Structure 1
Amino acid sequence: MWTTLERRPMVFDAIIAIVAFAFFGVLDVSRTGWTTLPIDAVFAVALVFRRRSPGAALGIAWAGAIAQLFVLPTFINGNVLIAVVIYGTSVADSRLVSRLGLISSVVGGILASVKLVLITGLFLPAHQQDGEAALSKVLYFVGVAGVIAATLSLFWLLGMITRIRRALMSERVDRLESSQELLRAELRVAQETERTRISREMHDVIGHSLAVIIAQSDGARYAVAKNPQVAIEALGVINSSARSALDDVSELLSVLTGSDAHEGSLGVADLEGLAKNTRAAGLVVDIHETGDRAQLAISPDLALYRVVQEALTNALKHGGPGTTVKVDLDWSDDAVSVRTETTEGAGPGLLGDDLQPSTGGYGIPGMMERVRLVGGTVDARPRDDGTPGFRVAARIPHSPGGTE
């Protein structure tokens, strides 16, 4: 029930006004007479509008106070409701209404003192001589005006404190909502980054394996009639490549299920197996290594593997039979340099075009992004020595310089 009333402030204030009118009406009638009821009713009406329209409530309260000043012989208990109206003005959003409430507190105290001290003489001592009476009027006028003005101003100050607290709470809520929105934005970025990373991994894993499988299946199709043994060997390579791709995809999907088995599964130690599968598909692959091999961190190790894998995959897709890929690994104290040079073969590759890898897919951009994330650099472009082909040069530090 209380929650329902809070959702309807006018109804709630109307109930409060009725209760206040009944309470103070009984007190004032018993003390002064029935002539006080209209003034109590005016103050009660002011309560109804104290939240919906505090400026109007202040005007109504002033109307009741002025009527009381001229009509009633003394002040009534219902004047307590004026303090509630003053409180409502300081809570209001309008600065003008708030300032009028504070001014009303001071002016109301002065007018009340005029009524109580100068007009009715209610607070003045009796049987004083003229000089003493004049001094008493001054002292009592200042004292009564100060007390009433201070009391009303105290209610105004309480309303101002409430308003400031509400503003602080609203600001805190806004900050929390902004923080939550920022967290949601960061989560969306992280999700998009993860999707991109998984897409890049899928391209690296499946793209290379399918290129090998297509090349071998084409060879097996033409060799099955003339040289069944070659077709059998090609089918073996297809089987090996498919199983390898399945294992790699399983490890990749383990990331999505929270498993850590995927990390570090591929690296420089797997390059010879990668080259073996590619040689079986018809490429001539030569891996040359200089310097002392260092133990790479997980991310750089995988990045090095993907650079070589992408170079071999592109050579297989775009080169022809006899395409040569030379892979040079040069180990230094703080990094490993990877350089691949592809020399185009005698005929078209799987895609039937020259050895110019497309930049519209995930391959080369994904390779560049992967190397950048581990703090390395990479340059991929057609060869500029007059020989048809492509070259990739990358430098990968031993420890990752970024995170995925």
Structure 2
Amino acid sequence: MPENRISRAKLTTDIVLAGVFGLMSLPFALMGNWADLVAMALFVSALAVRRLAPAWSLGIAWCAATVQMAALRDLQFYDFAVLGVLYSTAAHGGRLVKWLGLVSAGVGALIATVYLQVLMPIFGDTSGLTPENLIAAAFILVASLALLVLAWTAGLLARSVREGREVRRREEVANRERALVEYRYTVEQERNRIARDMHDVVAHSLAVVIAQADGARFAAKTRPDAASEALQTISGVARGALGDVRVLLAELRHREGGAPQPVLDDLGELIEGVVAAGLDVRRVETGEPCELGTGHQIAVYRIVQEALTNALRHGDPGAPVEVRFDWTPTGVSLMIANRLADAAGGPGTTATGATATGPTGARHGITGMRERAQLVGGTLSAEPGGDGVFRVVASIPAQPRSTA
């Protein structure tokens, strides 16, 4: 079974190179006998599969060397194929094959020395073993060992370079995948933020428009001036909402939006707009205001905005709405309380104080408020009390404004 999976192009290259090596060795093999032809064919086969199956390649090379030595043939040109086989065992073989290649280099150098300087003088036509043969044997052992181990070491070096390149490639792929995941997470968070802002802007503006339109409809016959003021308020609120929506849509088209975000100083304008819509808002503050970061200020603003919007849509329009800020050195506690339109909790009222005609928006708004509070490390609860008052209570921790 092949140890490596190589491409067809690489296998074809190995076969072609082995064939070229065989053609170069053929003239020298023809000068010998059948043993040279068999050994040459085996060495060429070993080169052809050196990357596809390094273990088989090493085994075939040993068979070729055995045939050559059994026929008492001298060194031939095709013996250089051993260098390619040893290189491939280190470069492409598994752990066992890799170390078998090194062992084969040492054992092969020793066997070749004994064969050339001991066995051939004894069994050949020479005069036998002489002291000169022993000196030559030492030289051949050192030279052949250095050459064979060098071929194996070159393969090991190529393997290390290839594995290092593969590790770097995997690291690059992992880094790209991690960057892609972070990018998608950032985009998702940004889109969720924009979705919350879109809900807050549109819901609040539409609530003001609806309240003003209802007032204008009733006052059109008896109080034309009041109807005209209501229509003017509707026009201003609609234009402001349109501008905010355009900014949010622009942020959707660009990943990093530079649109200005509301801060605590904008709460006065927000409350004035709700009061103009007919809601009696009473703002109460206690304690010394502490510094809040930009994200914390946005959370406070959006929570107050959503709570007032729900009060405008689902609360008792004749009852006052209390917006309370309790400042401490560690942060601010918010409470927005409004009486429900149906304090008795009739069949048309949901658990959130929203009428049955529009509970989905109220639930989405409360979820958005809770998410905003949690994102800045705070908490929020929103539920009706037994006295018929719906209370939104939030705690936002202090964080100094960024000076960057």
TM-score, reference length from structure 2: 0.82
Moved more, 270-279 or 180-189: 270-279
Deviation, structure 1 residue 285: 0.8
Following TM superposition, by how much is the alpha carbon of 1:224 offset from its aligned partner in structure 2, in angstroms?
3.2
- Pairing 1:174–2:175 present: no
Would you say 1:298 and 2:300 are equivalent positions?
no
1:370 and 2:372 correspond: yes
C-alpha distance after superposition, 1:281-316 (max 9, x if no partner): 332211123445566543233222112111101111
Question: Out of 309, 315, 322, which is 2:311 matched to?
Answer: 315
Match of residue 243 from structure 2: 247
Aligned to 1:21: 22
1:335 to 331, 339, 342: 331
Instruction: Give the stretch that moved more between structures: 73-82 or 101-110.
Output: 101-110
Structure 1: give runs of 5+ residues left out of the alignment: 1-5
State, as a whole percentage, how many aligned pairs show the same letter.
36
Could you tell me whether the CA contact under 8 Å between 1:24 and 1:40 is conserved in 2?
yes
- 3-state secondary structure, aligned to 1:79: helix
* Partner Cα distance (1:73, 1:272) in 2: 105
Call closer, same or farther: CA 1:338–1:347 in 2, change over 3 Å.
closer
Could you tell me whether the CA contact under 8 Å between 1:291 and 1:330 is conserved in 2?
Answer: yes
**3-state SS, counterpart of residue 282 of structure 1:** coil
1:103 aligns with 2:103: yes
Residues 88-99 of structure 1: pairs in structure 2 closer than 5 A: 88-99=88-99
What SS does the corresponding residue of 1:121 show, helix, strand or coil? helix
Q: Aligned partners of 1:139 and 1:38: how far apart in 2? A: 32
TM-score (normalised: structure 1): 0.82
How far off is 1:227 after superposition? 4.2
Is the 1:318–1:352 contact (alpha carbons within 8 Å) kept by the matching residues of 2?
no
Partner Cα separation in structure 1 for residue 26 and residue 258 of structure 2: 82
User: C-alpha root-mean-square deviation of aligned residues, in Å?
Assistant: 3.5
CA contact (8 A) 2:292 2:401 kept: no
SS at match of 1:16: helix
Which residue number corresponds to residue 399 of structure 1?
399
In the alignment, what sits opposite 1:82?
Answer: 82
Q: 1: distance between equivalents of 2:175 and 2:192?
A: 25
For 1:379, what is the secondary structure of its paired residue? strand
Deviation of 1:85 (Å): 1.0
Structure 2 residue 266 is matched with structure 1 residue 270: yes
Distance 1:352 1:201, change over 3 A: farther
Q: Which amino acid in structure 2 is aligned with residue 18 of structure 1?
A: G
Instruction: Verify the 8 A CA contact 1:200 1:362 in the aligned structure 2.
Output: no
Q: 1:243 to 1:296 in 2, by over 3 A?
A: farther
- 1:156-180 deviation line (CA, Å, top 9, x unaligned): 2221222222222212211211111
CA contact (8 A) 1:321 1:348 kept: no
SS of 2:121's partner is: coil
- Decide whether aligned partners of structure 1 residues 100 and 261 sit closer, same or farther in structure 2, where only a CA change above 3 A counts: closer
Aligned-partner Cα distance in 2 for 1:401–1:292: 16
Deviates more, 1:102-111 or 1:358-367: 358-367
Which position in structure 2 is the counterpart of 1:356? 353
Contact 2:343 2:389 (8 Å CA) reproduced: no
Output the amino acid matched with 1:372.
Q
* AA partner of residue 391 (structure 2): R
